Amino acid sequence: MSLPSSDAQTVTEHENTDSVNSYNDLCYDLSSLQDLACRGSWRSILDKVAQARSGSLLSKPHEHLVYLSYNAIALTKLRRFSEAVAEVELVEKGLDIYRYEMHPHHYPNRHGSMVPFVLRWLHAELPSKLGKPHESLDRFYTLLQFIREKLSNCLENVPRQVWRNRECLVINSIISHHLSYKQYGVCLDLMKDLINGETNDSIASAILWSKLGFVQLQFGDLEGAKGSFGVIEGIVKDLKGENETEIEIMIKMKNLVNRNNALMFMVEKDYASAVREYQECIDRDSSDVIAINNKALCLMYMRDLSDSIKVMENALERIPTSALNETFVVNLCSMYELAYVNHSDIKKTLGSWIARVAPDDFDTSCTRI
């Protein structure tokens, strides 16, 4: 599950972190929580939160909220959704308490909510994990309205961009839910709204056009998808790589063009051409997991199971952190089942390796052992 960023820069909606020297100046031992989250050590986060709470180590209201946020994220990552809901509801029931003006001795001259945005996002997303998808959609639309009210009141450029990023995140969440119901018309309208709003960021626009093309493919509008992907090619042609950061961005954008071209070839069942496009991506960036995964799938469709398996296994050996995700493993296990009579033994070996290196939230059932 993709969650909003929970770094220290987004701990609160009005917090100014420019004057702090480290994450730990903002909240008790926050850097440790950050490190555990980056490593996917979600069970350790639960332990750390429990220790901080039992030891009365959290002295300010915003510290309680930050630890509660990490706890809710960890529970969600571990698919303990009912417990995550219980955490989020603690905040929902006490929203008035978590306002700066209610604690003037801690936050003089501050006002507004100190609730981290990730809790608002979880409040919207979690019902869908408990069999209530329509409730999630309703909450996401309410959250979108809340964000747009903030945008209309933002006077400074930096906070406005923060809220703009959140608006994009929520709209993408809404699109994902509508896609699951095959409500493509709504998705198209939402995507076009997003694209119209991205007037200054060519990279963000390219990514949005790519998503629009993908949605168009979902309901068979091949010409529309080609047009959307064509817009991206025009954007990428204008990019210049004059420093390391710009070169990295250019590589990612060129790979986006190649992957979109390959996707069109896959729709037309021209798998050999798709493989060439994906190989260009891999030659440019050997850690492009999407290209690696899809190249292997194309080889499988071409009945070259031996090479498709080699592509997947080599990626797991070279870039385990990037390649180790459930979709990648499901595809590899499907190839094992097609290629080998003793696939159960091979999958058990893979499962043992995953148990040693995977983050806590990895779903080991994807091996289908």
* Averaged pLDDT, 81-94: 92
97 — pLDDT class (breaks 50, 70, 90): confident
In this structure, are residues 209 and 231 in contact, taking their beta carbons and an 8 Å threshold?
Answer: yes
- The Cα 301–Cα 297 span in angstroms is 6
* Averaged pLDDT, 223-228: 95
15 — pLDDT class (breaks 50, 70, 90): very low
Q: What is the pLDDT of residue 22?
A: 55
Whether 100 shows a pLDDT value over 50: the answer reads: yes
* Averaged pLDDT, 192-212: 82
What is the identity of the amino acid at 309? I
Whether 42 shows a pLDDT value over 80: the answer reads: yes
Indicate the pTM of the whole model: 0.86
Condensed to tens digits (0 to 9), the pLDDT of residues 331-367 reads 999 999 999 999 999 999 999 999 999 999 999 999 9
Condensed to tens digits (0 to 9), the pLDDT of residues 122-160 reads 999 999 999 999 999 999 999 999 999 998 887 655 578
DSSP assignments along 183-227, one per residue: -HHHHHHHHHHHHHH-SS-HHHHHHHHHHHHHHHHHTT-HHHHHH
Whether 21 shows a pLDDT value over 50: the answer reads: no
Long-range contacts of 211-215 (CB under 8 A, 24+ apart): 211/172, 211/175, 212/188, 213/260, 214/263, 215/175, 215/179, 215/184, 215/187, 215/188, 215/191
* Averaged pLDDT, 100-115: 91
Q: What is the pLDDT of residue 17?
A: 39
Condensed to tens digits (0 to 9), the pLDDT of residues 301-335 reads 999 999 999 999 999 999 999 999 999 999 999 99
Domains along the chain with CATH numbers: 1-181 (1.25.40), 269-369 (1.25.40.10)
**Both tokens assigned to 217:** 């493919």
In this structure, are residues 122 and 86 in contact, taking their beta carbons and an 8 Å threshold?
Answer: no
Q: What is the pLDDT of residue 26?
A: 76
